[in-house]
Structure 1
Amino acid sequence: MTNMKIPRIPTLREINIREKRVFMRIDINVPIDPDKGEILDDRRIRVHSQTIKEVVEKYRPALVLGSHQGRPGEPDFITLEKHAELLSKYTGYNVKFVDDVIGPTARKAIQELKPGEILLLDNLRLVSEEIIEATPEKQSYTIFVRRLAPLFDAYVNDAFATAHRSQPSIVGFPLVLPSAAGPLFEKEIMALRRVVESFESPRIFVLGGTKVRDLLRVIENLVRNKMADRILTTGLLAQLFLVAKGIGLGKENMRYLEEKGILPLIPRARYILLMGAPIETPIDFKVLIDGETRNVGIGEINGKIMDIGEQTIRIYSEFIKDAKIVVMRGPAGVIEDERFRDGTVKLLEAAYNSKAFVLIGGGHLSSMIDESKLNEHIHVSTGGNALLLFLSGETLPALKALELSAKMFLS
């Protein structure tokens, strides 16, 4: 169907971790209240808890977990002590915590860990090397990897959300230890294979959110690889393409697009349209005028655009209903305001009720999901940026490192 291919990634069925000492990279980097330092949304911790429990019950390893949280200097750069408490709550196991990463306290705790026990290291970015991007070969020689690798029998990457990073805990360990993708990572890869390697059609991509430049790269790759039958645009991306088509959005919206640095992207958007990209743009919007909401057509826009309109929701929902593959990335409106969640909620509703295989991207869209309506045909990705980069045609460093590891240890 496309030129995009996913390399062979080793799984837990191919390496021996039964009662072995294992380092598993997870991603429990979650939103933090900048004032109180409290966790605001623990969905990632809950998702990882399921696979941690699965790994412990099936293989009984001495399991050491590693994750980052925020960046140094940012309000969300905190220790993982509270994360450990939540992991204990959701897994049903006592998840030990050590306020160290590669020092003597951490190494002693790792060495003393018994099969069936779980230990969470502190925030991996307390080690400065974990912030530096480099090749897998270089990262395998970092102090981080050289200090910890000799303590382990195997490495497991279950952090697909970090797959676009080339840091020691992601790409360094696979070159020095037998390595595999964890259960969550494997599910992400299976979902991506379904999207990029199947012949199912129609294939609908619903793209919105604030990362307009990244989304343009995605669209260019989709067109290049003939992956999309329809690309339904929402949010700032939709506004960009409407301007590229010569449709006026009113002074307030044009000023906002200018503030966000989106207007210089108009020539690129026009070129994408000339390439024959199957772009659909809204025919109406929900706008905010003097504190009141109105539904207006694109020929009569006045006020600030906040969500896609009722007619657009109906049209987009019909496309989703008839699709075989649906990929959704980014909310349709300003979901921080409850008045402008309708577009996002109803497009998700159409996805729940469709017979398509649905891949829902991470990020803000995940916060709007009704988990009671999920089924085996819907995959909610934990990797917002990793998913975007993959769909842009980029090679994900974590996949490359696991591929190299398979050649080194499993050939």
Structure 2
Amino acid sequence: MIRVGELSIPTLDDLSFLNKKILVRLDINSPIEPKSGKLLDDSRIKAHIPTLRELIEKGNALVLLSHQGRPGDSDFVGLEEHSKVLSRYLGQEVEFVEDVMGPYALNRIRELRSGEVIMLDNVRLVSEELIEAPPDQHARSFLVNRLSKVVNSFVNDAFATAHRSQPSLVGFPVVIPSSAGRLMEREVSALAKIFNSETSPKVFVLGGGKVQDSIRIIENLSKRRLADRILTGGLLAEVFMIAKGMNLGKENLQILERHGILSLVPRAKKVLLAGAPVEVPVDFRVESQGNVIEESSTRISGIIKDVGPTTEEIYSSFIRDAGLTVLRGPMGVIEDERFRRGSSSLLRAALESKGYVIVGGGHMISVIGEAQLDPAKVHVSTGGGALLLFLAGESLPALEALSRGVKA
């Protein structure tokens, strides 16, 4: 069992998975090249391999269930290409079944033998999967009703979708023995460190352009007293600087106004008045007439594009002394190589520190590049929305369903 707050979530170690038929919910939702249908990134597929290999080695037959895109979107496609990529990584055939819960799928599941793996088609082809509802209601859905009768157990390994309350994520634990897979377990175990009072000091590095989301996170961290330091960068830092009464210059104010972010300043002030330990940059790298210059935060004339070298040093000193560092969102406009240094420096400080490191969000993950990471020290989260809601203190329905599900 792994504990997160008040939840106790069963893992593969808590149930008997031996020579059974197991339904495994994955999240292999991937970027798709519209014209060719090819997958542009298969990192989410690779992340599930340890769970699948462990279950196969125990003689189980696996039925894989996942989604891709949403109806009406260009990336809403079947999972045949995904099954081919998965076959390559697993080193054995993953048979694609062009059905989800019809007679063909049910018969193929009944015929499954030990060690075989099939992948059902995109679960969002089933209209029920688009409905958000409580687990008990989803347990009565056609999807859960039909598939639960032809498998023995359910394994949820889809952390990136854990914030959804849809049939394939919350319905099965109500009716059959269920557990988290190894990827889900790693995600939850890493995030549980945020609540561990023995892991301190806790430093959160928040940046990027999703300011409203980040303020939600800060509000929760402050309310629950989970953060010792909150280091800000990007547009988020600019909002808090205005809340502190600092002058960013006309051009930067116009950019914030254009993004519809200035309206968040009163909310940021309220967070500061509540005592949130928010730090803002003391200097920046700015762009002025096409040139990159460094300016103090008290005298800004150019357009802010990254934190400056003194801020890097101050922030890095906090990070090096941290027992836990969570990085979500870049410090600058990392799409431009000239403004990646702030994010890279803080990430390097985190990796060199003695504390545990959680990296979340595609932008910060891209800064890591090909660096070799120690899994005992660094966790790179696959969750986007799920990670956000977790940090913002909101419940994750898939975890709650596993915690309260039927026992073996």
TM-score range, shorter chain: over 0.9
Partner of 1:388: 388
> Are the structure 2 counterparts of residues 171 and 387 from structure 1 closer, same or farther at C-alpha, using a change threshold of 3 Å?
same
Shifted more, 122-131 versus 149-158: the winner is 122-131
2 CA distance for matches of 1:189 and 1:338?
A: 33
Q: Quote how far apart the aligned CAs of 1:202 are.
A: 1.4
Q: Quote how far apart the aligned CAs of 1:36 are.
A: 4.1
Shifted more, 45-54 versus 217-226: the winner is 45-54
2 CA distance for matches of 1:258 and 1:350?
A: 33
Give me the identity figure in percent: 53
Q: Secondary structure at the match of 1:17?
A: coil
Per-residue displacement from partner, 1:363-401 (whole Å, max 9, x unpaired)? 332222245431111111111221221121111101110
Shifted more, 373-382 versus 159-168: the winner is 373-382
Q: Secondary structure at the match of 2:69?
A: coil
Q: Quote how far apart the aligned CAs of 1:312 are.
A: 1.4
TM-score of the two chains, using structure 1 as the length reference = 0.94
Shifted more, 178-187 versus 88-97: the winner is 88-97
2 CA distance for matches of 1:259 and 1:32?
A: 30
1 CA distance for matches of 2:112 and 2:162?
A: 28
Q: Which residue identity does 2:47 align to in structure 1? A: V
1:409 and 2:407 aligned: yes
2 CA distance for matches of 1:257 and 1:354?
A: 34
Q: Quote how far apart the aligned CAs of 1:126 are.
A: 1.3
The Cα RMSD (Å) is: 1.7
Q: What are the within-5 Å matches in structure 2 for residues 97-246 of structure 1?
A: 97-246=96-245
Partner of 1:17: 17
Q: Secondary structure at the match of 1:196?
A: coil
Partner of 1:26: 26
Q: Which residue identity does 1:303 align to in structure 2? A: G
Q: Which residue identity does 1:290 align to in structure 2? A: Q
> Are the structure 2 counterparts of residues 222 and 178 from structure 1 closer, same or farther at C-alpha, using a change threshold of 3 Å?
same
2 CA distance for matches of 1:409 and 1:89?
A: 34
Per-residue displacement from partner, 1:16-54 (whole Å, max 9, x unpaired)? 221111111111112223454332222111111233223
2 CA distance for matches of 1:372 and 1:55?
A: 29
Partner of 2:48: 48
Partner of 2:247: 248
Q: Secondary structure at the match of 1:156?
A: strand
2 CA distance for matches of 1:6 and 1:329?
A: 25
Q: Quote how far apart the aligned CAs of 1:299 are.
A: 2.5
Q: Quote how far apart the aligned CAs of 1:343 are.
A: 1.7
1 CA distance for matches of 2:212 and 2:90?
A: 39
Partner of 1:74: 73
Q: Quote how far apart the aligned CAs of 1:82 are.
A: 1.6
Per-residue displacement from partner, 1:264-323 (whole Å, max 9, x unpaired)? 111110011111111011112222333333322222323332222222112111111111
Q: Quote how far apart the aligned CAs of 1:120 are.
A: 1.3
Q: Quote how far apart the aligned CAs of 1:6 are.
A: 4.3
Name stretches of at least 5 consecutive residues in structure 1 with no aligned partner.
Answer: none
Shifted more, 251-260 versus 342-351: the winner is 251-260
Shifted more, 142-151 versus 171-180: the winner is 142-151
Per-residue displacement from partner, 1:213-267 (whole Å, max 9, x unpaired)? 2211211111111111100011111111011112122223222212222111111
> Are the structure 2 counterparts of residues 208 and 66 from structure 1 closer, same or farther at C-alpha, using a change threshold of 3 Å?
same
Contact 2:17-2:55 at 8 Å conserved across structures: no
Name stretches of at least 5 consecutive residues in structure 2 with no aligned partner.
Answer: none
Partner of 1:342: 341
Shifted more, 287-296 versus 391-400: the winner is 287-296
Per-residue displacement from partner, 1:84-114 (whole Å, max 9, x unpaired)? 1111111212111122212222222222221
- Aligned pair count reads 404
Contact 2:50-2:182 at 8 Å conserved across structures: no
Partner of 1:399: 399
Q: Secondary structure at the match of 2:160?
A: helix
Contact 1:17-1:153 at 8 Å conserved across structures: no
2 CA distance for matches of 1:197 and 1:86?
A: 38
2 CA distance for matches of 1:209 and 1:99?
A: 40
Q: Which residue identity does 1:399 align to in structure 2? A: L
Contact 2:306-2:342 at 8 Å conserved across structures: yes
TM-score of the two chains, using structure 2 as the length reference = 0.94
